Amino acid sequence: MMLLTDVVTALGLQVLTSGVGFDREVRGGIVCDLLSIVLAKAQPQDMWITIQRHQNIVAVAKVTSVAGVILADGIVPEQDVIDRASEEGILLLATKESSFVVCGKLFALLSSEEE
Amino acid sequence: MRSYVADLHIHSCLSPCGSLRMSPQAIVDAAVDRGIDVIALTDHNTCEMGPVVAHTAKKAGLAFLYGIEIQTREEVHLLAYFNDANACNALSEEVYAYLPDVRNDPEYFGDQVVVDEQDNIIRTEEKLLLNSIALSLEDVTERVRAHGGLPVPAHIDRGAFSLLGQLGFFPETTVYPIVEVWGATVPNECGQRAILRSSDAHEPEQIGRRTSVLTMERVSVEEILLAAAGVGGRSIRSEES
């Protein structure tokens, strides 16, 4: 079973939120910056990879119950968005790598576990 | 109190996607031909053509609102309306400063020309206007209001460049009493908000293909807000034409 803590370590992600746990299971992922599409398609236990930093990402993550959000390309949201995520128990992660590279690494990581 | 037929979303030849035929006179002639009483010019990320279209409109007896269609960092299109040119210009200059320094490719995107009332080309805008500025929707909305403008999210029900498409739902922190809807069906998310419909014309033939009827004392941003709230018999009505 792959946990958030394994993903954060393996991908070298920066943790933006505080007080949010890492014990949720990760089984898949979604990469999308259009929140209407994420709302329609994201599954619980997905990692959501995006460059969208608008405050609505917190609500979308909450509603879809994704395991965590990875902001790619060095994108960091405003502090009030990070604070809101911490309050809501949404794990916000950041990386300087592109969405493409993050997806590749995450896919390889999840695939390695299935073997 | 009177009822004004309004088309408040029109692009001129300065927008890259706007036809070169969208000159001040062509815009005004089409509006008069379709029985429109008030127009707003809403080019992408600029209002430079505002004064010349305003002048042409007034000569033809049309009321005019200064406008701009801003593309925010989230790729949301936000319309903003102003009573006077100076306020719209001030906002437009702020927007331009946050527009990335990407050159327009006229072959691909189309020409971006500023023209005068006789259709003479005054200058060509080199920066690509159809691009996202480096400001959030909330930031832009605050700046519009700080300059006395009326922010209206554009075609919120479309798949591209719309608030609902990009952001999924209305942000909690920002209030929009009026939204522009493109299709026949008003999305449930709109709740009690007033609905404006306009043509989003890029060609003269498209002007007036959608209109709204604004019942109010006079044409101004303040009166439109009162009409949205239904104060004193004022109203905003629109239907897909």
pLDDT(A34) > 50: yes
Q: How is domain A4-114 classified at the architecture level of CATH? A: 3-Layer(aba) Sandwich (3.40)
| A56–chain B nearest CA distance, Å | 6
pLDDT(A78) > 80: yes
**Pairwise CA distance, residues B224 & B226, whole Å:** 5
Chains A, B: CB contacts under 8 A, how many? 34
How many domains does chain B contain in total?
Answer: 1
B203 phi, psi to nearest 5 deg: -130, 150
What was the pLDDT predicted at B241? 47
User: Which candidate in B164, B167, B189 is best for mutational testing of the A interface (most A CBs within 10 A)?
Assistant: B167
Segments making up each domain of chain A, as ranges = 4-114
CB atoms within 10 A of CB B199: 24
ipTM over 0.95: no
Nearest to B222 by CA among B153, B147, B140, B149: B149
**Pairwise CA distance, residues A34 & B72, whole Å:** 14
Of A38, A54, A78, the CB nearest to B137: A54
- Return per-residue pLDDT of chain B as tens, 241 residues: 999 999 999 999 999 999 999 999 999 999 999 999 999 999 999 999 999 999 999 999 999 999 999 999 999 999 999 999 999 999 999 999 999 999 999 988 999 999 999 999 999 999 999 999 999 999 999 999 999 999 999 999 998 899 999 999 999 888 999 999 999 999 999 999 999 999 999 999 999 999 999 999 999 999 999 999 999 999 999 966 4
Question: Which residues constitute the domain of residue B199?
Answer: 2-240
Of A38, A39, A54, the CB nearest to B136: A54
User: Do A36 and B168 lie within an 8 Å CB cutoff?
Assistant: yes
User: Do A39 and B165 lie within an 8 Å CB cutoff?
Assistant: no
Nearest to B53 by CA among B119, B108, B5: B119
The CATH number of whichever domain residue B195 belongs to comes to 3.20.20.140
CB B95 within 8 Å of CB B44: no
User: Do A35 and B168 lie within an 8 Å CB cutoff?
Assistant: yes
DSSP β-bridge partners for residue B179 = B195
- Whether A8 has its CB under 8 Å from any CB of chain B: the answer is no
- Whether A108 has its CB under 8 Å from any CB of chain B: the answer is no
Largest separation between any pair of C-alpha atoms in chain B: 51
User: Which candidate in B158, B166, B170, B174 is best for mutational testing of the A interface (most A CBs within 10 A)?
Assistant: B166
Q: What is the separation of C-alpha A100 from the centre of its chain, rounded to a whole number of angstroms?
A: 14
**Pairwise CA distance, residues A24 & A27, whole Å:** 10
What residue type is B76 in one-letter code? V
> What torsion, rounded to 10 degrees, do the Cα atoms A99, A100, A103, A105 define?
-110
The confidence band for A115, taking pLDDT boundaries of 50, 70 and 90, is low
Q: How far is CA B131 from CA A6, B23, B69, B96, in A?
A: 39, 22, 11, 11
**Pairwise CA distance, residues B104 & B82, whole Å:** 27
What was the pLDDT predicted at B240? 60
| B211–chain A nearest CA distance, Å | 27
Could you identify the residue written with the tokens 């319309």?
A: B79
With beta carbons under 8 A apart, name residues in chain A contacting B168: 35-36, 38-39, 56, 59-60
Interface of B with A (CB under 8 A): 74, 136-138, 164-169, 171-173
With beta carbons under 8 A apart, name residues in chain A contacting B173: 55
